[in-house]
């Protein structure tokens, strides 16, 4: 099987590659790069991708695939389809399934379901059994089965003492703890605490609920020498804490979601539950701090926190509705529209934050655009203008606040494991 | 001149003219309530559903009585807690009720924003009878009506809202309405009961109850919710009463002309001493009577709006 891609802008910041060239893939391997004459190659499918960018396959390190337990909201299959449609060749899935990812059996189940899919799925194991915050999950067993990091996401690692144990235990594997930073004693609310929450009369969550745990986790990471990754950072103060910690050489990294760098808490004003998430949308000052953190490298990567919920669950009274939105199929467009077009980040920086850095944090191989390498690629058009339509999503769920939004930038194709997703279908390359 | 909106969701952003129209219309209905036959045929043939997802006695009775005085047909739906936990979603409940051809819905819910959500899933006129800690517009309207009835005006008055502002739905509606009609509004309560950045609404804050009594024409005293977990916002009810409770001694010492309002139900010995609750400074039962007239006015203006 041979496929020739004409006219690509090849962009691979890890190799300082920024080149306009054609790309020949044979049986999933990058065969040659350069000015390739299609007449010289026999039995070859040709794609004219002039002007498109080709980058190492994008990676989303924070998604909820809901399997096992809530297959009515998402499955490994539909979540991977959404990832492929959104331009991602790999995802890390969070352990707040039912049962939680706290045994090799659950990891095997997920990996089994993902095995033949183009998209690589890397499970994140639970830090504590059942994510209850009491005893450590069998981390050794989980690492051996394929867990790439550990998190009690959905909730914080409840006590400092169990966090310390987990971090020390993880030193044996070099694994990162991914923390959902929320001091539960002050987080009983439905939106960010601000002038807006005062006007809306909604119970609110102050930014310090996040900051306190970020500070705690940085201290524990410093003390133990372990690695901490702050999931979905959202407060200005937390970004400052991470910035200072990085200067001291503490092993801390963090991610931000597209909604936290593009929406502020005033969007809650119409009580649409698609604007209800945790951490909640913050103030404009926080939004600007996210962009600043992305620019100066404090924020290492961008992840969607793809959180599918059924319509009947989400369409509810505001205080009862579950938190979260789906994001795999809108993420790239929001990054390009809000960060690239507004000149906050360059395309190479975007590739680092959406492809290279998340894999580095998880200790995964980084795909290279180089002859002889496996083709693990995303091809996207940074100039394509389109309207988000939730009914076109491959995800099983529809909970997105970005429906009908006009955006720029779209994935055209993804390639991995000898397969390509292009124009709504999978084929071999 | 009709109201500018077909719903009454809150007083935030409601034009001054609308508020005045409601208050003036209530004056007419207030007179009806003094007649031997207290019923007018104005809303004959209209069907109104009182959709109460939270316990309420006086607001529900007041609305129901107002509806009956206007000759509307009334149905009541009472349910507490999360709709999902009871097996039917809120939306399905509303759709079912609407299928019975209801013209107006009066809604009370513990979640802020439910009346706003209702406007998206129902075609009925929606009246907010209290949503979460957000708004309770008819309460604020009846408070303003009662102040105006007693003092002849709102414009230029100094009004202080006293108590648990953060967990109150009455406070915000009063703030919006009173400021709109030209009053100077202040708040008095423990710092833990004042929500973030509320000064930006154009109010001032004090934590000294003597000052609040001395410097204002009207005190609108909110109920301290006894069911709230002890020690989270205030140490004890006793301490609250000692430092923020309104007593006749305090009134006599600071401002014997002050007018006391309370939305009820009163906790005697907490926010008000019994002597004040029954005393000459207060108009608490007038508020209850006026509440029926205000709700008649709102129902009438929305129900007959072209």
Q: Please report the number of interchain residue pairs, chain A to chain B, with beta-carbon separation below 8 angstroms.
A: 73
Give domain A57-362's CATH number out of 3.30.70.20, 3.20.20.140, 3.60.15.10, 3.30.70.1230. Answer: 3.20.20.140
In chain A, CATH 2.30.40.10 covers: 2-54+370-398+410-428
* Integer angstrom CA distances of residue B73 from B45, B76, B98, B227: 7, 10, 14, 35
Six-digit token string for A153? 């996401």
Q: How many residues does chain A have?
A: 429
Which of B203, B212, B210, B213 lies closest to B174, judged by CA? B203
Pick from A190, A271, A312: CB nearest B117: A271
Chain B residues with CB inside 8 Å of A270's CB? 116
pTM, to two decimals: 0.94
Is pLDDT at B228 greater than 70 in this prediction? no
In order of their start, the domains of chain B are 16-135+288-303 (3.40.50.1370), 137-285 (3.40.50.1370)
Q: What is the pLDDT of residues B195-214, one digit of tens each?
A: 999 999 999 999 999 999 99
Q: Which distant-in-sequence residues (6+ apart) come within 8 Å of B62 by Cβ? A: B288, B291, B292, B295
Six-digit token string for A409? 């930038």
Chain B residues with CB inside 8 Å of A316's CB? 83-84, 89-91
Which of A208, A129, A136, A190 lies closest to A167, judged by CA? A136
Residue A298: Cβ within 10 Å count = 25
Does B131 sit within 8 Å of A201, measured CB to CB? yes
Shortest Cα–Cα distance, B283 to chain A (Å)? 27
In chain A, CATH 3.20.20.140 covers: 57-362
Which of A105, A106, A166, A107 lies closest to A135, judged by CA? A166
Six-digit token string for A4? 């020739």
The DSSP line for B26-91 is HHHHHHHTTSSS----TTTT-EEEEEESS--SHHHHHHHHHHHHTT-EEEEEE--S-TGGGTS-HH
Question: Which helix or strand (DSSP H or E) is residue B94 part of?
Answer: helix B90-99
Residue A43 confidence (pLDDT): 86
Question: Which helix or strand (DSSP H or E) is residue B261 part of?
Answer: strand B259-261
Six-digit token string for A400? 């997105």
Six-digit token string for A183? 């001091």
Average pLDDT taken over every residue of chain B: 94
Does B169 sit within 8 Å of A271, measured CB to CB? no
Give dist(CA A144, CA A103) in Å, integer.
11
Give dist(CA A57, CA B263) in Å, integer.
62
Q: Which residues of A are catalytic?
A: 305
Under a CB-based contact definition with an 8 Å cutoff, are residues B108 and B51 in contact? Answer: yes
Residue B28 confidence (pLDDT): 95
Residue A273 confidence (pLDDT): 97
Question: Which helix or strand (DSSP H or E) is residue B260 part of?
Answer: strand B259-261
Give dist(CA A95, CA A54) in Å, integer.
31
Q: Which residue pairs, CB below 8 angstroms and at least 24 apart, start in A108-115? A: A108/A145, A109/A67, A109/A68, A110/A65, A110/A67, A110/A68, A110/A76, A111/A145, A111/A146, A113/A67, A113/A75, A113/A76, A113/A77, A114/A76, A114/A80
Does A270 sit within 8 Å of B196, measured CB to CB? no
What residue of B is the nearest CA neighbor of A197?
B196
Is pLDDT at B88 greater than 90 in this prediction? no
Chain B residues with CB inside 8 Å of A193's CB? 196
Residue A393 confidence (pLDDT): 98
Residue B248 confidence (pLDDT): 96
Which of A222, A257, A260, A224 lies closest to A242, judged by CA? A222
Residue B61: is it exposed, middle or buried by C-beta count within 10 angstroms (0-12/13-18/19+)? middle
Residue A29 confidence (pLDDT): 98
Chain B residues with CB inside 8 Å of A195's CB? 196-198, 200
SS (H, E, C) chain A: CEEEEEEEEEEEHHHCEEEEEEEEEECCEEEEEECCCHHHCCCEEEEECCCCEEEECEEEEEECCCCCCCCCCCCHHHHHHHHHHHCEEEEEECCCCCCCCCCHHHHHHHHHHHCCCCCEEEECECCEHHHCCCCECCHHHHHHHCCCEEECCCCCCCCHHHHHHHHHHHCCCCCEEEECCCCHHHCCCCEECCHHHHHHCCCEECHHHHHHHHHHHHHHHHHHCCEEEECCCCCHHHHHHHHHHHHCCCCEEEEECHHHHHCCHHHHHHCCHHHCCCCCCCCHHHHHHHHHHHHHCCCCEECCCECCCCHHHHCCCCCCCCCCCCCCCCHHHHHHHHHHCCCCCCHHHHHHHHHHHHHHHHCCCCCCCCCCCECCEEEEEEEEEEECCHHHCCCCCCCCCCCCCEEEEEEEEEEECCEEEECCEEEEC
Give dist(CA B126, CA A359) in Å, integer.
52
Shortest Cα–Cα distance, A213 to chain B (Å)? 21
Which of B129, B184, B123 lies closest to B157, judged by CA? B184
What angle, 0 to 180 degrees and rounded to 10, lies between the N-to-C axes of helices A160-170 and A207-224? 40
Question: Which helix or strand (DSSP H or E) is residue B259 part of?
Answer: strand B259-261
Is pLDDT at B93 greater than 90 in this prediction? no
Does the structure's ipTM exceed the value 0.95? no
Residue B86 confidence (pLDDT): 59
Give dist(CA B134, CA B166) in Å, integer.
9
**A positions 187-216 inside 8 Å of B (CB):** 190, 193-195, 197-204
Give dist(CA A123, CA A145) in Å, integer.
9
Shortest Cα–Cα distance, A281 to chain B (Å)? 16
Residue A419 confidence (pLDDT): 98
Chain B residues with CB inside 8 Å of A313's CB? 84
Which of A415, A429, A383 lies closest to A51, judged by CA? A383
Give dist(CA A220, CA A143) in Å, integer.
22
- 10-residue mean pLDDT profile of chain A (429 residues): values are 96 97 97 90 92 98 98 98 98 98 98 98 98 96 98 96 98 97 96 98 97 98 98 98 98 98 98 97 98 98 98 92 97 98 98 98 98 98 98 98 98 98 97
Does A197 sit within 8 Å of B114, measured CB to CB? no
Give dist(CA B306, CA B3) in Å, integer.
10
Does B113 sit within 8 Å of A198, measured CB to CB? no
At A56, give phi and psi (nearest 5°): -55, 135
Shortest Cα–Cα distance, B167 to chain A (Å)? 8
Beta strand pairing status for A2-12 and A29-34?
unpaired
At B53, give phi and psi (nearest 5°): -95, 10
Chain centroid to CA A125: 16
Does B114 sit within 8 Å of A201, measured CB to CB? no
Six-digit token string for B87? 């097996």
Does B83 sit within 8 Å of A201, measured CB to CB? no
Pick from A270, A315, A319: CB nearest B132: A319
| Mean pLDDT of all residues in B100-121 | 96
Strand ranges, E, within B102-257 = 104-109, 125-131, 158-162, 184-188, 204-206, 218-221
Q: How confident is the model at residue B56 (pLDDT cuts 50, 70, 90)?
A: confident
Of residues B82 and A387, more confidence is placed in A387
Under a CB-based contact definition with an 8 Å cutoff, are residues B273 and B247 in contact? Answer: yes
Q: Does domain A2-54+370-398+410-428 have CATH number 2.30.40.10?
A: yes
Pick from A197, A315, A319: CB nearest B111: A319
Q: What is the CB-side half-sphere exposure of residue A270 using CA atoms within 13 A?
A: 7
Look at the block and give the residue holding tokens 């703030």.
B175
Buried b (16+ CB within 10 A) or exposed e, A165-199: bbbebbeebebbbbbbbbbeeebebbbbbbbbbbb
Residue A38 confidence (pLDDT): 80
Q: How confident is the model at residue B230 (pLDDT cuts 50, 70, 90)?
A: low
Q: Which distant-in-sequence residues (6+ apart) come within 8 Å of B103 by Cβ? A: B46, B47, B48, B124, B125, B303
Does A194 sit within 8 Å of B132, measured CB to CB? no
Residue A410 confidence (pLDDT): 98
């Amino acid at each position: 099987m041979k496929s020739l891609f004409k006219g690509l802008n090849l962009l691979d910041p890890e190799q300082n590659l920024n080149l306009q060239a054609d790309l020949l893939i044979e049986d999933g391997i990058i065969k040659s790069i350069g000015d390739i004459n299609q007449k010289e190659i026999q039995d070859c499918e040709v794609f004219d991708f002039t002007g498109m960018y080709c980058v190492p396959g994008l990676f989303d390190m924070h998604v909820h695939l809901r399997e096992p337990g809530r297959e009515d909201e998402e499955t490994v299959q539909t979540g991977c389809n959404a990832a492929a449609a959104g331009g991602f060749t790999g995802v890390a899935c969070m352990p707040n399934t039912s049962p939680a990812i706290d045994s090799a059996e659950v990891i095997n189940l997920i990996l089994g379901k993902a095995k033949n899919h183009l998209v690589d799925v890397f499970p994140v194991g639970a830090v504590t059994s059942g994510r209850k915050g009491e005893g450590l999950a069998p981390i050794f067993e989980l690492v051996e089965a394929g867990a790439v990091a550990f998190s009690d996401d959905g909730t914080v690692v409840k006590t400092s003492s169990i966090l310390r144990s987990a971090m020390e235990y993880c030193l044996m594997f070099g694994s990162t703890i991914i923390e959902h930073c929320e001091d539960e004693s002050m987080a009983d609310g439905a939106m960010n605490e601000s002038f807006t929450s005062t006007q809306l009369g909604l119970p609110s969550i102050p930014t310090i609920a996040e900051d306190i745990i970020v500070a705690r986790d940085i201290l524990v990471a410093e003390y133990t020498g372990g690695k901490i990754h702050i999931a979905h950072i959202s407060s200005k103060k937390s970004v400052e804490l991470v910035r200072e910690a990085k200067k001291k050489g503490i092993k801390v990294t963090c991610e931000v979601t597209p909604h936290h760098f593009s929406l502020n808490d005033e969007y809650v004003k119409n009580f649409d539950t698609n604007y209800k998430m945790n951490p909640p949308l913050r103030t404009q000052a926080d939004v600007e701090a996210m962009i600043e953190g992305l620019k100066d490298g404090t924020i290492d990567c961008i992840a969607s926190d793809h959180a599918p919920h059924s319509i009947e669950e989400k369409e509810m009274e505001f205080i009862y509705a579950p938190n979260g939105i789906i994001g795999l199929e809108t993420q790239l467009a929001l990054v390009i529209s809000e960060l690239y077009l507004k000149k906050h980040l360059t395309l190479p920086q975007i590739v680092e934050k959406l492809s290279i850095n998340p894999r580095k944090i998880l200790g995964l191989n980084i795909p290279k655009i180089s002859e002889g390498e496996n083709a693990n690629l995303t091809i996207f058009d940074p100039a394509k203008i389109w309207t988000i339509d939730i009914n076109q999503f491959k995800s099983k769920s529809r909970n997105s606040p970005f429906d009908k939004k006009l955006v720029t930038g779209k994935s055209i194709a993804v390639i991995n494991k000898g397969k390509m997703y292009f124009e709504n279908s999978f084929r071999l390359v | 001149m009709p109201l500018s909106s077909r719903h009454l969701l809150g007083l935030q952003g409601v034009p001054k003219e609308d508020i005045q129209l409601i208050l003036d219309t209530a004056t007419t209905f207030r007179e009806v309530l003094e007649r031997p036959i207290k019923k007018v045929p104005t809303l004959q043939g209209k069907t109104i559903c009182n959709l109460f997802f939270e316990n309420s006695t006086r607001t529900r009775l007041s609305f129901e009585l107002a509806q009956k005085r206007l000759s509307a047909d009334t149905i009541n739906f009472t349910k507490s807690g999360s709709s999902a936990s009871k097996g039917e979603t809120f939306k399905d409940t509303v759709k079912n009720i609407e299928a019975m051809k209801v013209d107006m819905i009066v809604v009370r819910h513990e979640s802020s924003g439910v009346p706003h959500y209702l406007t998206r899933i129902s075609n009925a006129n929606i009246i907010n009878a209290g949503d979460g800690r957000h708004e309770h517009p008819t309460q604020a309207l009846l408070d303003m009506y009662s102040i105006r009835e007693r003092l002849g005006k709102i414009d230029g008055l100094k009004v202080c809202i006293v108590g648990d502002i953060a967990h109150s739905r009455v406070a915000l509606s009063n703030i919006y309405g009173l400021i709109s009609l030209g009053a100077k509004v202040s708040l008095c309560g423990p710092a833990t009961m004042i929500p973030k950045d509320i000064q930006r609404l154009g109010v001032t804050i004090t934590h000294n109850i003597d000052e609040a009594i001395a410097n204002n024409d009207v005190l609108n005293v909110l109920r301290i919710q006894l069911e709230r977990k002890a020690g989270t916002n205030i140490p004890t009810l006793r301490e609250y009463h000692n430092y923020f409770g309104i007593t006749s001694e305090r009134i006599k010492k600071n401002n014997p002309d002050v007018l006391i309002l309370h939305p009820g139900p009163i906790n005697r010995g907490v926010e008000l001493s019994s002597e004040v609750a029954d005393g000459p400074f207060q108009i608490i039962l007038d508020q209850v009577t006026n509440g029926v007239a205000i709700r008649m006015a709102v129902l009438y203006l929305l129900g007959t709006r072209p």
